[in-house]
Amino acid sequence: MTAGNGTRTASHTVLATRLGELTVVQAGGALTGVYFPRHWPRPDRAAFGERADGGFAAAARQIGEYLAGDRTAFALPLEARGAEFDRQVWELIAQVPYGQTASYGDLARRLGGGADPRDVGGAVSRNPMCILIPCHRVLGSTGKLTGYAGGLRRKRALLDMEQGKIPLWCPPRSHEGRMQDVCRA
User: What is the per-residue DSSP string for 7-46?
Assistant: -PPEEEEEEEETTEEEEEEEETTEEEEEE-TT-SSPP-GG
Q: Which of 130, 135, 170, 183 does the annotation list as catalytic?
A: 135
- Quote the CA–CA distance of 94 and 85 in Å, as a whole number: 14
CA-to-CA distance for 23 and 6, rounded, in angstroms? 20
Q: Which domains does the chain have, with CATH numbers?
A: 10-77 (3.30.160.70), 84-164 (1.10.10.10)
Distances 127 to 138, 139, 163, 177 between C-alpha atoms, Å: 12, 15, 22, 29
**Residue 183 catalytic?**
no
Q: What is the pTM of this model?
A: 0.84
Q: What is the pLDDT of residues 142-182, one digit of tens each?
A: 999 998 988 999 999 999 999 985 766 555 443 333 333 33
Could you report the per-residue pLDDT of 30-46, keeping only the tens digit for each? 999 999 988 878 788 88
Model confidence pLDDT, tens digit, residues 8-66: 799 999 999 888 899 999 999 999 999 998 887 878 888 899 999 889 999 999 999 99
The amino acid at residue 14 is: V
